[in-house]
Each structure stands twice: as C-alpha cells, then as structure tokens.
Homo-oligomer: A and B are copies of this chain.
C-alpha cells in the first residue's frame, strides 16, 4: 500500500468575492497548488472535488468536469458532497485511489461561492445540510442547532459563554499572520460577549462567517514523489469517516459527536498513532462550541473538559496542543466545499515549516484535520505526519 504524499497546496483568499465563480476560485487554488508542487498538470490522473451548494448559488451541478477544466487538467473528475465535510470525503477517496495503486497523482480540493446569496440566502442554502422534513420545516437553522448543542453541553458538563468566547479570541489571534484569512484582526473576550446574540448562548462572534473560496492539494504516491525528487515531506497516513443520524432529535446526546469519534479512531488506527501523539490539529469550528465537541471527540481533551481548553491555554498557539493555528473556520473563513481540503493544506504547511504559524509547532511530527458536515452527521478525520 503506497504512502500518500502532500506534494503541493494552494488556497485562495477566503472572504467575500461574490462576483467570482467557483470555477474561477478553483482555477486560482489549483494553479497555486501545481506551482507549489512542481507536478505538471498533465500527470494528474483524477480530480476529487468537494462542493456543497453549487446547485443553489450558481445553478451549477456536475462540477467535477468543470473543475478539472478550470484546473487545466484532462482527467476524470468527481464531485463529492457531504455538506460542510464535502472536501473531507473527497480527500478520502483520493487517498484510496493512490493507496490502491490506481493513481500516482490526484488533485483534490473544493470550492464554494456563497456570499452572492447574501447572508439570509446563504443561511437558507446551508439549511439543506439538515433534515428538510424534520428540522428545516420546523424553523431550524444551523446557528439554532449548534446553540442547542451548546446548551446541552453546559447543562451536562458545565461551562459558560465566556469559555466559548476564548475559542473565538484564540482563533482570531491565530489568523493574524494568515494572509488567506477572512478576518485578520484580534478580538477580545468582551467583544464576543457583547456581540448580538444569534441563538442563545451563541452570539455573532461564536459563528464562522459566510465565505467564498477554494482549496487545492496535489497528492502523489510515495514512489512518484521519490522518482520526481519532489519536496513532499508530509504524508496523509490515516483516514477515517464517521456517520450519525441526521436530525438532532434522533441523537443520543446533543453534546457528543460520535461520528467524529469514530472517524478519529479509524484514522488513528489507520495511521498507527494515538491521540497522545497528536501535536496539533485543525478542527471544524463552524461555531465555538463545535471546536469543543471536536477536540473531545478526537480524544485531545477528556469529555467534559474541552470547554476550558482555550481559556486555560491548552489549545492556544503556545499551548500543549494548538488547535486551529490557521484561524479555523471562525477567523479564516468557511467556504463550505473548500474547507476540508484547506485544512489538509494548512496542516501540511504547518508541518513542513512553510506556514506563518509554523514557529509554534517546530518539533511537531503528527497532526490531525477534522472536517464535519451538518451537526456532525458526517465527519472525516485525516492524520498527517512528517515522513521525509
């Protein structure tokens, strides 16, 4: 089974560019990834692409072939959709195809155009990631759903809004040097607490923004990387996916994410590592509470204790296990279909020493990327390691 190397990564700026199509965004990201990798486009054998709401925001399905075209690649292309974990599942399939020996070079990534819908339109479009019959028609949107999860967490394990505020403050701080980030500005705990409430207990600064953007990663087999003398020191060594019931009402516990736990356990086992080996992680912080649930599901914090991790400095850049050094979805932005592959890009850059925040993880060898869909009815986890 071949090792899967990260040969190059490319990201657009995440933010508001309502006039740019997803193909335009993906063309930029993939061009950067090819330049970073040194791999010629003509060597690409497959394109695995994540997109969530193209049918609604651009009247455009069947984006696989369009994105191959945008990337200047002549190869079969598939679009994967798992809500906000769309490019997370795309990465999984790319890893499979290389491990199988089917392909030596796969372009994986994602894009999303959202801001052209406006905030209300985008929120409505995002709701198609929930159960239309049992949640959406009852008025549920994602801020409301994650607010319920936060309330359940507080009731079960304790915690308060101020704990969550520290997650937002940390991730904004991390985004300061990240030129790709939507928000390169520091915020204070008081800013978070004084921001308008969106759905109690979550306020405006507990939520990630609506974003446009794209991500691209060139993955190769170990053999290809060595034969072509690529600078590709980081490998994806573990992949996992978990699933859960779609609607919150059917979950056993609103303050747990079993899909993420399963994905993590599978990825750790696949890579032959344990949670204790993880030096840092990018996790899916669409809301501040989501980061807390994620680090507990990944066993980076004991259940019920993740709430204090940011406040107590365990997950800050200079903490024991930095979380979301990129700024996370919260401050870097969340162009839905792009997010999963962008986490792979950030983790690989951090491990390779190419990231503005690499200084915080200089001796790191093992890191994790966690991508979630909906209220974590879908989750993927990938383990990345320095192997060369």
Q: Which of B64, B69, B132, B378 contacts A59 (CB 8 A)?
A: B132
Contacts of A52 in B (CB 8 A): 61
Q: Which of A62, A99, A246 has the most CB of B within 10 A?
A: A62
For the complex, give the distance between the alpha carbons of A75 and B21 in Å.
34
For residue A8, CB closer than 8 A to chain B, the reply is: no
For the complex, give the distance between the alpha carbons of A242 and B66 in Å.
13
Per-position binary interface string of chain A over residues 76-97, scored 1 when its CB falls under 8 Å from any chain B CB and 0 otherwise: 1111111100000100110011
Contacts of A186 in B (CB 8 A): none
Contact, CB under 8 Å: B60 / A132: yes
For the complex, give the distance between the alpha carbons of A61 and B378 in Å.
12
Contact, CB under 8 Å: A136 / B65: no
Contacts of A145 in B (CB 8 A): none
For the complex, give the distance between the alpha carbons of A166 and B56 in Å.
39
Contacts of A100 in B (CB 8 A): 1, 96, 99-100
Per-position binary interface string of chain A over residues 236-263, scored 1 when its CB falls under 8 Å from any chain B CB and 0 otherwise: 0000011111100010000000010011
Q: Which of B68, B93, B374 contacts A243 (CB 8 A)?
A: B68
A61 nearest CB neighbor, chain B only: B128
Contact, CB under 8 Å: A129 / B377: no
For residue A373, CB closer than 8 A to chain B, the reply is: yes
For residue A74, CB closer than 8 A to chain B, the reply is: yes
For residue A227, CB closer than 8 A to chain B, the reply is: no
Q: Which of B64, B130, B132 contacts A378 (CB 8 A)?
A: B64
Q: Which of A75, A128, A241 has the most CB of B within 10 A?
A: A128
Q: Which of B74, B82, B99 contacts A64 (CB 8 A)?
A: B82
**Known interface pairs A64-B378, A82-B64. Does A128 touch B55 (Cβ–Cβ under 8 Å)?**
yes
Contact, CB under 8 Å: B61 / A129: yes
For residue A131, CB closer than 8 A to chain B, the reply is: yes
The 7 closest A-B CB pairs, nearest first, are A65-B377, A62-B83, A61-B128, A76-B241, A76-B243, A55-B55, A62-B129
- 25 A–B contacts from the bound complex (CB under 8 Å): A56-B56, A58-B132, A59-B136, A60-B128, A61-B128, A62-B82, A62-B83, A65-B243, A65-B245, A65-B246, A65-B373, A65-B374, A65-B377, A68-B243, A69-B250, A76-B259, A76-B262, A77-B243, A77-B378, A78-B80, A78-B92, A78-B241, A80-B80, A96-B96, A99-B100
